[in-house]
Amino acid sequence: MDMDWLQDFLTLARERHFSRAAESRHVSQPAFSRRIRALEDWAGTSLFERGSQGATLTAAGEALAPVAEAVVGSLGRARRDIQAIGAQNGGEIAIAATHALSFTFFPGWIRRHLRLDAFGALSLVSDSMEGCERIMLAGEVDFLLCYDHEKQEGLFSDERFESLVIGTDRLIAVCAPDAQGRALFTLADRRGKTLSYSQSSGLGRILAVHAAAQGGDMASEPLLTSHLAATLMTMAREGHGIAWLPVTLAADDLDNARLVRAGDAAADVPLQIKLFRPSTRRSAAAERLWADLVSGQGVPQRQAAASDTGSTSSSPRAPLR
């Protein structure tokens, strides 16, 4: 028995669709299907009815569901309790960061602003926004590094969390160039197929919030969806359509003309790079890090007052080449 099988089982029971469940678990659909089959082999019976409308629990699956939830929940709580004990006695700091920021922003930010030898060991968990939210709410990390938008209200928009704006970026529409170096597709004539973010992506949510604030729709005909900005960048580079990418991620491709703008600068979407933390006290190392950041950047935002106070930090800007 592999514990991942139970988590796969619960995800499929919730999503009722193999492809959505596989995406939520960040594995390919064939691999996900094999793991569900392995669980059914272990149980000795079918747990799902497969049909044109998706997957539904069999009677055996219905019986397993509450047991699986209890087992996964109990082990998760035990893991968090053990980690909390270790964190109080040790110097490790755990940070969850969305995939794009893990690749583009985090390494330089750490180098510029943090003295790792002063704060102890550092653990970075890279995941989709949905995944980062889940482990942050579960108390498994000390901080969450993610993109945000001034109009967006997320799971951390209440008094239980604080945040600092530690950088800025922009989402821009890009695509591959034609033989003359012009954009293959443009936002203006809507010829381009849109390469879209999935529901688990924070950038997808930001695009939707920005579009609603502008009173329009930023998408044309979705050709492909993914929670990974890097995947959309590759597809755009190969000439499949228009992708909305952070400038910091697309900068090298833009500099080397592998990608070009598909719209003018007026269409850009402003991004904040935020560091969130729970308001409750964390380990000594995490508290030292937060105090150091606050002393250098201003007073942290209490999320309940964020809409009234605006940004409360003087934010170093990420390079926007």
Q: Is 305 found in the same domain as 158? A: yes
Task: For residue range 234-267, list pLDDT tens digits in order.
Answer: 999 999 999 999 999 999 999 999 999 998 999 9
Share of the chain above pLDDT 70, in %: 80
Lowest mean pLDDT among 56-70, 161-175, 254-268: 56-70
Tell me the pairing of strands 161-175 and 301-302.
Answer: antiparallel
Residue range 163-192: mean pLDDT, rounded: 88
Q: Is residue 206 included in any domain, yes or no?
A: yes
Q: What's the pLDDT band for 5 if we cut at 50, 70, 90?
A: confident
> Residue 118 pLDDT more than 60?
no
In this prediction, residue 216 carries a pLDDT of: 61
Q: Is 279 found in the same domain as 212? A: no
Q: Is residue 74 included in any domain, yes or no?
A: yes
CATH number of the domain encompassing residue 193? 3.40.190.10
> Residue 83 pLDDT more than 90?
no
Q: Is 133 found in the same domain as 13? A: no
Tell me the pairing of strands 301-302 and 260-261.
Answer: unpaired
In this prediction, residue 1 carries a pLDDT of: 58
Q: Is residue 320 included in any domain, yes or no?
A: no
Contact 224, 232 (CB under 8 A): yes
| Residue at a domain's end among 32, 61, 81 | 81
Q: How far apart are CA 162 and CA 239, in angstroms?
A: 41
Q: Is 159 found in the same domain as 195? A: no
Q: Is 256 found in the same domain as 125? A: no
> Residue 300 pLDDT more than 70?
no
Q: Is residue 118 included in any domain, yes or no?
A: yes
Contact 36, 8 (CB under 8 A): yes
Q: What's the pLDDT band for 167 if we cut at 50, 70, 90?
A: very high
Highest mean pLDDT out of 68-72, 130-134, 209-213: 130-134
Q: Is 259 found in the same domain as 177? A: yes
Q: Is residue 321 included in any domain, yes or no?
A: no
Residue with tokens 């930010």: 109
Tell me the pairing of strands 193-197 and 221-226.
Answer: parallel
Contact 269, 206 (CB under 8 A): yes
Q: How far apart are CA 152 and CA 57, in angstroms?
A: 36
Q: Is residue 315 included in any domain, yes or no?
A: no
Q: Is 207 found in the same domain as 152? A: no
Q: Is 287 found in the same domain as 146? A: yes
Contact 229, 202 (CB under 8 A): no
> Residue 207 pLDDT more than 70?
yes
In this prediction, residue 305 carries a pLDDT of: 34
Give me the domain span that covers residue 175. 169-270
DSSP assigned state of 318: P
Q: How far apart are CA 245 and CA 175, in angstroms?
A: 10
In this prediction, residue 298 carries a pLDDT of: 43
Q: How far apart are CA 148 and CA 162, in angstroms?
A: 14
DSSP string, 144-212: EEEEE-TT---TT-STTEEEEEEEEEEEEEEE-B-TTSSBSS-TTTT-SEEEEE-TT-HHHHHHHHHHH
In this prediction, residue 313 carries a pLDDT of: 35
> Residue 129 pLDDT more than 70?
yes
Structural domains counted in the chain: 3
Q: How far apart are CA 99 and CA 105, in angstroms?
A: 10
Q: Is residue 22 included in any domain, yes or no?
A: yes
Tell whether pTM > 0.85: no
DSSP assigned state of 239: T
Contact 221, 192 (CB under 8 A): no
Go through the chain and tell me how many residues it has. Answer: 321
Q: Is 176 found in the same domain as 265? A: yes
Element (H, E) at 55: strand 54-57
In this prediction, residue 248 carries a pLDDT of: 93
Element (H, E) at 83: helix 59-89
In this prediction, residue 92 carries a pLDDT of: 75
CA 195 distance to own-chain centroid: 17
Q: Is residue 144 included in any domain, yes or no?
A: yes
